[in-house]
Amino acid sequence: MLMKFSLIFLFLACLFLVGICLENDKKTTKRKEQGEEIKIPQPDKRLTVIGKAREALNWTRGAKPRNDMGCTSIGATAWSALCAGSHHNRARACDSYGCGGFNSRSDGRIHKGIDIVCGDYGIINAPFTGNLGGPVGRAAGDSVQYDGVKLYNKVHCVKIFNIRPYVYFGSVVQGEAMGYLLPLQEHFSGITSHLELQMCDGSDPSPFI
Protein backbone atom coordinates (compact mmCIF):
# COMPACT_ATOMS: atom_id res chain seq x y z
CA MET A 1 0.00 0.00 0.00
CA LEU A 2 2.81 2.41 0.91
CA MET A 3 4.72 1.55 -2.24
CA LYS A 4 1.62 2.22 -4.34
CA PHE A 5 1.10 5.63 -2.68
CA SER A 6 4.75 6.58 -3.30
CA LEU A 7 4.53 5.71 -7.00
CA ILE A 8 1.38 7.80 -7.39
CA PHE A 9 3.05 10.79 -5.65
CA LEU A 10 6.14 10.46 -7.87
CA PHE A 11 3.98 10.30 -10.98
CA LEU A 12 2.07 13.45 -9.99
CA ALA A 13 5.33 15.29 -9.25
CA CYS A 14 6.67 14.43 -12.69
CA LEU A 15 3.45 15.66 -14.32
CA PHE A 16 3.77 18.92 -12.38
CA LEU A 17 7.35 19.49 -13.55
CA VAL A 18 6.44 18.68 -17.14
CA GLY A 19 3.59 21.17 -16.92
CA ILE A 20 5.92 23.92 -15.73
CA CYS A 21 8.37 23.24 -18.60
CA LEU A 22 5.54 23.30 -21.16
CA GLU A 23 4.26 26.58 -19.73
CA ASN A 24 7.71 28.20 -19.99
CA ASP A 25 8.03 27.01 -23.59
CA LYS A 26 4.63 28.50 -24.40
CA LYS A 27 5.65 31.86 -22.86
CA THR A 28 8.92 31.89 -24.80
CA THR A 29 7.17 31.04 -28.06
CA LYS A 30 4.58 33.74 -27.42
CA ARG A 31 7.28 36.35 -26.76
CA LYS A 32 9.02 35.41 -30.00
CA GLU A 33 5.75 35.64 -31.95
CA GLN A 34 5.11 39.11 -30.51
CA GLY A 35 8.57 40.25 -31.64
CA GLU A 36 9.84 40.72 -28.10
CA GLU A 37 13.63 40.55 -27.90
CA ILE A 38 15.01 37.94 -25.57
CA LYS A 39 18.23 39.09 -23.97
CA ILE A 40 20.93 36.49 -23.64
CA PRO A 41 23.81 37.20 -21.24
CA GLN A 42 27.04 37.94 -23.06
CA PRO A 43 29.99 37.04 -20.84
CA ASP A 44 32.46 38.56 -23.30
CA LYS A 45 31.04 42.06 -22.82
CA ARG A 46 31.02 41.61 -19.06
CA LEU A 47 34.69 40.63 -19.13
CA THR A 48 35.45 43.64 -21.33
CA VAL A 49 33.79 45.99 -18.84
CA ILE A 50 35.66 44.39 -15.96
CA GLY A 51 38.95 44.77 -17.87
CA LYS A 52 38.29 48.45 -18.51
CA ALA A 53 37.42 49.00 -14.86
CA ARG A 54 40.65 47.35 -13.78
CA GLU A 55 42.62 49.47 -16.24
CA ALA A 56 41.06 52.65 -14.85
CA LEU A 57 41.77 51.51 -11.30
CA ASN A 58 45.41 50.81 -12.15
CA TRP A 59 45.71 54.24 -13.73
CA THR A 60 44.46 55.96 -10.56
CA ARG A 61 47.00 53.97 -8.58
CA GLY A 62 49.80 55.28 -10.74
CA ALA A 63 50.21 52.34 -13.13
CA LYS A 64 51.01 53.32 -16.72
CA PRO A 65 48.94 51.89 -19.56
CA ARG A 66 50.82 49.31 -21.61
CA ASN A 67 50.11 51.09 -24.91
CA ASP A 68 50.93 54.61 -23.66
CA MET A 69 52.93 55.58 -26.75
CA GLY A 70 51.64 59.18 -26.71
CA CYS A 71 53.51 60.12 -23.56
CA THR A 72 56.90 61.81 -23.74
CA SER A 73 59.88 61.76 -21.42
CA ILE A 74 59.73 65.52 -20.73
CA GLY A 75 57.96 65.07 -17.40
CA ALA A 76 60.51 62.46 -16.32
CA THR A 77 63.55 64.64 -17.06
CA ALA A 78 62.16 68.05 -16.15
CA TRP A 79 63.59 69.84 -13.13
CA SER A 80 61.40 70.79 -10.20
CA ALA A 81 60.38 74.39 -9.50
CA LEU A 82 63.25 76.58 -8.30
CA CYS A 83 61.12 79.20 -6.57
CA ALA A 84 59.53 77.77 -3.42
CA GLY A 85 55.73 77.93 -3.48
CA SER A 86 55.56 77.71 -7.28
CA HIS A 87 54.23 74.65 -9.04
CA HIS A 88 56.36 75.19 -12.14
CA ASN A 89 59.19 77.33 -13.48
CA ARG A 90 57.78 80.44 -15.17
CA ALA A 91 60.11 82.32 -17.51
CA ARG A 92 60.25 86.08 -17.17
CA ALA A 93 58.51 87.93 -19.98
CA CYS A 94 59.66 91.28 -21.34
CA ASP A 95 59.56 94.36 -19.12
CA SER A 96 61.15 97.81 -19.21
CA TYR A 97 64.54 96.25 -18.42
CA GLY A 98 64.53 93.59 -21.11
CA CYS A 99 63.35 90.02 -21.71
CA GLY A 100 64.12 86.80 -19.90
CA GLY A 101 64.09 84.28 -22.72
CA PHE A 102 67.10 82.40 -24.03
CA ASN A 103 68.96 84.28 -26.79
CA SER A 104 66.89 87.43 -26.22
CA ARG A 105 68.65 90.75 -26.72
CA SER A 106 69.10 93.21 -23.87
CA ASP A 107 71.38 96.26 -23.69
CA GLY A 108 73.14 95.19 -26.87
CA ARG A 109 74.00 91.70 -25.60
CA ILE A 110 72.48 88.28 -26.16
CA HIS A 111 71.01 86.67 -23.09
CA LYS A 112 72.53 83.16 -22.80
CA GLY A 113 70.26 82.00 -20.00
CA ILE A 114 66.65 81.98 -18.86
CA ASP A 115 65.17 84.19 -16.14
CA ILE A 116 62.86 82.35 -13.73
CA VAL A 117 60.27 84.49 -11.97
CA CYS A 118 60.49 84.62 -8.17
CA GLY A 119 59.78 87.28 -5.55
CA ASP A 120 62.50 89.23 -3.71
CA TYR A 121 63.91 87.16 -0.83
CA GLY A 122 61.99 84.12 -2.12
CA ILE A 123 63.43 80.75 -1.14
CA ILE A 124 65.27 79.00 -3.98
CA ASN A 125 65.12 75.19 -4.13
CA ALA A 126 67.52 72.85 -5.89
CA PRO A 127 66.03 71.91 -9.30
CA PHE A 128 67.78 68.53 -9.23
CA THR A 129 69.96 66.47 -6.91
CA GLY A 130 73.64 67.31 -7.18
CA ASN A 131 76.65 69.10 -5.70
CA LEU A 132 77.34 72.77 -5.16
CA GLY A 133 80.52 73.85 -6.93
CA GLY A 134 81.24 77.21 -5.33
CA PRO A 135 80.36 80.81 -6.17
CA VAL A 136 80.00 81.97 -9.77
CA GLY A 137 80.43 85.48 -11.08
CA ARG A 138 79.72 87.56 -14.15
CA ALA A 139 80.88 90.88 -15.48
CA ALA A 140 79.28 93.94 -13.90
CA GLY A 141 80.82 96.97 -15.55
CA ASP A 142 84.55 96.88 -14.89
CA SER A 143 84.28 94.33 -12.10
CA VAL A 144 83.02 90.81 -11.49
CA GLN A 145 79.88 90.36 -9.47
CA TYR A 146 79.60 87.14 -7.48
CA ASP A 147 75.92 86.60 -6.83
CA GLY A 148 75.30 82.97 -7.63
CA VAL A 149 76.34 79.36 -7.23
CA LYS A 150 77.10 76.41 -9.47
CA LEU A 151 75.08 73.19 -9.23
CA TYR A 152 76.06 70.04 -11.07
CA ASN A 153 75.75 66.26 -11.26
CA LYS A 154 76.71 63.61 -13.85
CA VAL A 155 74.02 64.85 -16.24
CA HIS A 156 73.54 68.60 -15.69
CA CYS A 157 75.63 71.62 -14.81
CA VAL A 158 74.04 75.03 -14.21
CA LYS A 159 74.91 78.44 -12.84
CA ILE A 160 72.18 80.12 -10.81
CA PHE A 161 72.49 83.91 -10.48
CA ASN A 162 70.73 86.56 -8.40
CA ILE A 163 70.66 84.34 -5.33
CA ARG A 164 72.43 84.20 -1.98
CA PRO A 165 73.20 80.52 -1.21
CA TYR A 166 73.20 79.26 2.35
CA VAL A 167 76.39 77.35 1.52
CA TYR A 168 78.61 77.25 -1.56
CA PHE A 169 79.84 73.68 -1.30
CA GLY A 170 78.29 70.35 -0.44
CA SER A 171 75.50 68.14 -1.74
CA VAL A 172 71.82 68.98 -2.11
CA VAL A 173 68.78 66.94 -3.03
CA GLN A 174 66.04 67.96 -5.43
CA GLY A 175 63.64 70.39 -3.78
CA GLU A 176 66.00 71.28 -0.92
CA ALA A 177 66.30 74.98 -0.02
CA MET A 178 69.59 76.36 -1.38
CA GLY A 179 69.28 80.05 -0.53
CA TYR A 180 67.13 83.09 -1.28
CA LEU A 181 66.61 85.55 -4.13
CA LEU A 182 68.48 88.83 -3.89
CA PRO A 183 66.23 91.93 -3.84
CA LEU A 184 66.22 93.26 -7.40
CA GLN A 185 63.53 95.87 -6.71
CA GLU A 186 65.95 97.87 -4.56
CA HIS A 187 68.17 98.47 -7.60
CA PHE A 188 65.76 98.08 -10.55
CA SER A 189 62.37 99.36 -9.50
CA GLY A 190 59.55 97.77 -11.50
CA ILE A 191 61.61 94.90 -12.89
CA THR A 192 60.13 91.40 -12.76
CA SER A 193 62.06 89.83 -9.87
CA HIS A 194 63.83 86.72 -11.05
CA LEU A 195 66.80 84.42 -10.82
CA GLU A 196 68.94 83.74 -13.87
CA LEU A 197 69.66 80.20 -14.93
CA GLN A 198 72.57 79.39 -17.26
CA MET A 199 73.88 76.05 -18.46
CA CYS A 200 77.62 75.70 -17.88
CA ASP A 201 78.17 74.92 -21.57
CA GLY A 202 76.03 77.84 -22.73
CA SER A 203 73.24 75.68 -24.14
CA ASP A 204 69.53 76.37 -23.82
CA PRO A 205 68.04 75.16 -20.48
CA SER A 206 64.45 75.43 -21.78
CA PRO A 207 63.94 71.65 -22.27
CA PHE A 208 64.53 71.04 -18.58
CA ILE A 209 62.45 73.76 -16.95
* Count of domains forming the chain: 1
pLDDT at 24: 57
Q: Specify the higher pLDDT residue, 27 or 127.
A: 127
Q: Residue 204 domain-assigned? A: yes
Residue 175 in domain:
yes
Domain contains 56: no
Closest CA to 116 of 75, 78, 162, 73: 162
Mean pLDDT of 173-187: 94
Task: Supply the pLDDT for residue 110.
Answer: 84
Q: What confidence tier does 171 reach under pLDDT thresholds 50, 70, 90? A: very high
Q: What are phi and psi for residue 64, nearest 5 degrees? A: -85, 140
pLDDT at site 115: 92
The CATH number given to whatever domain includes residue 157 is 2.70.70.10
CA distance 6 to 169: 101
Domain membership of residue 22 (yes or no) is: no
| Domain-embedded: residue 129 | yes
25 within some domain:
no
The pTM score is 0.61
User: What per-residue confidence (pLDDT) applies to 102?
Assistant: 85
Instruction: Report yes or no on 109 lying in a domain.
Output: yes
Cβ–Cβ < 8 Å for 45, 51: no
- Rounded Cα–Cα distance for residues 63 and 166 (Å): 39
Residue range 149-173: mean pLDDT, rounded? 96
How far is Cα 168 from Cα 178, in angstroms, rounded to an integer? 9
Question: pLDDT at residue 25 above 60?
Answer: no
- The confidence score (pLDDT) of residue 47 equals 44
CB 88 within 8 A of CB 81: yes
Tell me, yes or no, whether 42 lies in a domain.
no
- The tens digit of pLDDT for each residue in 111-144 reads 888 999 999 999 999 999 999 999 998 876 676 7
Range of the domain at 191: 75-208
Q: What is the mean pLDDT of residues 82-96?
A: 92
CB-count exposure of residue 83 (10 Å: 0-12, 13-18, 19+): buried
Residue 199: CB atoms within 10 Å: 18
